[in-house]
Structure 1
Amino acid sequence: MKYSVVIPTVGRPNLDELLDALVEGEGPEPVEIIVVDDRETRLGPAAARNSGWREARGDWVAFIDDDVVLAPDWKAQLCADLAGLPDDVGASQARIVVPLPEDRKPTDAERGTAGLASARWITADMAYRREALARAGGFDERFPRAYREDAELALRVQDLGYRIVRGERVTTHPVKPATFLTSVDQQRGNADDALMRRLVGPGWRARIGGQPGRFRMHVLTTAAGAGAVLCGLLGWRRAAVRLGAVWAALTGWFAVRRIVPGPRTADEVVRMVVTSALIPPVACWHRVRGELRHRRVRP
């Protein structure tokens, strides 16, 4: 069995260790290891992966993110997962493990990364049959971030009649470094959700096994806040107070839901309070931006 490895990268520090694990690890060697450097073009991981697999010569293409940690025998595990798979299997997904702190509850950012362990079809470690990639046309390069592009491809591959199976190989995905505004920056994904809805239909979230989103609550919170400001400017004090109370209640409820599962340290509480006020309007802005940008997209 011939397989290739494709790694899109923006130069993360872990890349050298990842390449060492691939070169020195136990198991059959890949036909090639293709690293696609996206630091200059910034076209996104979808475009980088497409560049990689189209140059690959293996019957299977294993996509790996540049921030994962591979087991010493990852190559052997991968080949064991792929060996003997019937022709109707188009892809094999690894089992992703996200190590969390053992001495405290995880932060909001850490819980977000931990969700990768149960996510479907993520390309942190995903091997596709090259034939399936060719028939599906590869990743949709209109997805500019590492968000939704892998699930959208998986849906198209399955619509062609292929199955996607979960292998036995285990890959570790460390918790991503987070800043104070990481959760706010992540709201850019709402624009990609708009593209998913255009491509897959209104039931796209159920098809990928996702949890119900919070966008409607974000719209309500943003509308209450904007209404309170507008009424205040117009001199409608009573309406401004009432709408302000609605905004405060919704924002507080959102913050509490994020604070309770975490370590509840002072800095985490402050972060949750501030970002819980910022997230709703930012999410709405990116969703509107996505709807306008992709308004002409058809399935």
Structure 2
Amino acid sequence: MSVTVVIPTLGRPSLAALLTALAPGVAEHDLELLVIDDRPGSPPPLDVPATVLPGPSRGPAAARNVGWQAAKHDWVAFLDDDVLPDADWADRLVDDLAEAGERVGGVQGRLRVPLPPDRRPTDWERVTAGLAEGAWITADMAYRRVALEACGGFDERLPRAFREDAELAFRVRDQGWSLTRGRRRVTHPVRPESPWVSLRTQRGNADDALLRRLYGPCWRELLQIPSGRRSRHVAVTLAGAAALALAATGRRGPATLAGLVWAAGTAEFAAARIAPGPRDPREVATMLTTSALIPPAATWHWLRGWWRWRAL
């Protein structure tokens, strides 16, 4: 079985552990290993047999395109640089692909996210754990090279690690290929993040606006993406803006009503995020603050994306 393994990276410390875990299986099965270094400057030397290619510094979609286009083999397995494969990952990868039927265009690995055993997970830990149930995520996803060629690979208009894998999976299936799940496994640890990570990730709403332009109102169903809270975020944001505008014009009654709608919406959002978590003072404070900031941030990024892609 001829397989190329493509790993885009920004130089996370986890890359070294990933490559060390891969090294025995790469040697045993003669896998081609391509590391796409998406940082500016010269790529660093590695301690394992791998080819390092410079990335275009335009996000993971563009980096993965560099990888599969340079691949020598019929199958291309994508791994994120923050996963840790099981010891038998390469053996199971080869078995997964050998068992794929002729019209199977891609085979997804199984992903586990370890959570703290002694407390409830934080909001960020729960978001990361959701990856374990994700459909066709490129944390561990192998595609036939011909399937990638037929659909043109990843859409580089999606610059973040957000939706670009689901969008590719839709186009591969739209070409008549099927996608399946294999038996190989990787672990995806929860990487440390700042308390503001949930606010920063709202930039992905601009990518959602592109997908809405491309695929219409049913884009979530087509791409197998769970429903979100955008409509509620927009309503809360409008209520807050109305409260400020009405107060500025001296209309206290309507301003108070709008303010109460904003407060109720924000409180409901914060409660939904606090309830399943550890509920310690730091987490509660973070949830209260970000729950007030996320709705306007999400709305702003959606509108920004909608305007950018208005001509589609």
Under TM normalisation by the shorter chain, which class is it?
Answer: over 0.9
Residue in structure 1 matching 2:287, options 246, 254, 272: 272
Map of 1:56 onto structure 2 = 71
How far the C-alpha of 1:30 sits from its partner, in A, is 4.1
Please tell me the residue identity of whatever aligns with 1:92: V
Residue in structure 1 matching 2:308, options 289, 293, 296: 293
SS at match of 1:151: helix
- Contact 1:31-1:57 within 8 A present in 2 as well: no
- Contact 2:26-2:33 within 8 A present in 1 as well: no
Q: Over aligned residues, Cα RMSD in angstroms?
A: 1.2
Map of 1:222 onto structure 2 = 237
Q: How many pairs are equivalent?
A: 297
- 1:192 and 2:202 aligned: no
- Contact 1:197-1:204 within 8 A present in 2 as well: yes
SS at match of 1:141: coil
How far the C-alpha of 1:8 sits from its partner, in A, is 0.5
Map of 2:29 onto structure 1 = 29
- Contact 2:166-2:224 within 8 A present in 1 as well: no
SS at match of 1:261: coil
- Contact 1:187-1:282 within 8 A present in 2 as well: yes
Residue in structure 2 matching 1:42, options 36, 57, 64: 57
Alpha-carbon distance between aligned partners in 2 of 1:84 and 1:100, rounded to the nearest angstrom:
32
Identity %: 56
Map of 2:2 onto structure 1 = 2
How far the C-alpha of 1:180 sits from its partner, in A, is 1.2
Q: What TM-score results when the alignment is normalised by the length of structure 2?
A: 0.93
Alpha-carbon distance between aligned partners in 2 of 1:12 and 1:233, rounded to the nearest angstrom:
48
Q: What TM-score results when the alignment is normalised by the length of structure 1?
A: 0.97
Map of 2:99 onto structure 1 = 84
Please tell me the residue identity of whatever aligns with 1:21: A
- Which segment is superposed worse, 232-241 or 136-145? 232-241
Alpha-carbon distance between aligned partners in 2 of 1:166 and 1:242, rounded to the nearest angstrom:
51
Runs of 4+ aligned residues of structure 1 deviating over 4 Å after TM superposition are none
CA deviation profile, 1:175-198 (whole Å, cap 9, x unmatched): 132211111111011011111112
CA deviation profile, 1:122-155 (whole Å, cap 9, x unmatched): 0000000011001111000000000111000000
- 1:146 and 2:161 aligned: yes
Map of 1:248 onto structure 2 = 263
Map of 2:185 onto structure 1 = 170
- Contact 1:120-1:208 within 8 A present in 2 as well: no
Map of 2:84 onto structure 1 = 69
Please tell me the residue identity of whatever aligns with 1:95: R
Alpha-carbon distance between aligned partners in 2 of 1:111 and 1:184, rounded to the nearest angstrom:
15
Please tell me the residue identity of whatever aligns with 1:295: R
Q: Which runs of structure 2 are paired with 1:98-137 in the superposition (5 Å)?
A: 98-137=113-152
Please tell me the residue identity of whatever aligns with 1:29: H
Please tell me the residue identity of whatever aligns with 1:2: S
- Contact 2:242-2:258 within 8 A present in 1 as well: yes
- Contact 2:211-2:219 within 8 A present in 1 as well: yes
CA deviation profile, 1:167-225 (whole Å, cap 9, x unmatched): 01111111132211111111011011111112222111112333221011001100010
Alpha-carbon distance between aligned partners in 2 of 1:167 and 1:28, rounded to the nearest angstrom:
20
- Contact 2:57-2:63 within 8 A present in 1 as well: no
- 1:210 and 2:225 aligned: yes
Please tell me the residue identity of whatever aligns with 1:191: A
How far the C-alpha of 1:27 sits from its partner, in A, is 7.3
SS at match of 1:171: strand
Alpha-carbon distance between aligned partners in 2 of 1:46 and 1:166, rounded to the nearest angstrom:
21
- Which segment is superposed worse, 171-180 or 9-18? 171-180
Alpha-carbon distance between aligned partners in 2 of 1:44 and 1:276, rounded to the nearest angstrom:
27
Alpha-carbon distance between aligned partners in 2 of 1:250 and 1:282, rounded to the nearest angstrom:
15
Please tell me the residue identity of whatever aligns with 2:21: A
